[in-house]
Amino acid sequence: MIFQEATFLIEHLPGLELTKEDQLKKIQELHVENDHYTQQLELELNHAQLLLSKLQKVYKEACDDQLLLDRMNVDSVAENR
């Protein structure tokens, strides 16, 4: 049973019908493709980090503004007493 499974897996390995040169060419193509996608992902990550930084700044400003409004409301209530 194990022999049959191993034989099946070996027979279905990709690239067995290719020559060594063809396999090396395919590996090189995959490296180039991988490098391309790596660069794209790095650009997207940098963009996302920039957006996160901007959102954090806006959120902090909104929180600061809300605290200021709360203080103004507390001061206004205190003055009316």
Residue 27 falls within a domain, yes or no?
yes
Q: pLDDT of 46-76, one tens digit each?
A: 999 999 999 999 999 999 999 999 999 887 8
User: How do residues 18-41 score in pLDDT, each as one tens digit?
Assistant: 788 888 898 999 999 999 999 999
* Nearest one of 16, 24, 57, 23 to 8, comparing CA atoms: 16
pLDDT computed for residue 57 by the predictor: 98
Read off the pTM.
0.60
**C-alpha to C-alpha distances, 15 to 20, 26, 35, nearest whole angstrom:** 9, 9, 22
- Asked whether residue 10 is domain-assigned, the answer is no
Range of the domain at 65: 17-79
Asked if residue 29 belongs to a domain, the reply is yes
* Residue 16: pLDDT over 70: no
Domain count, the chain: 1
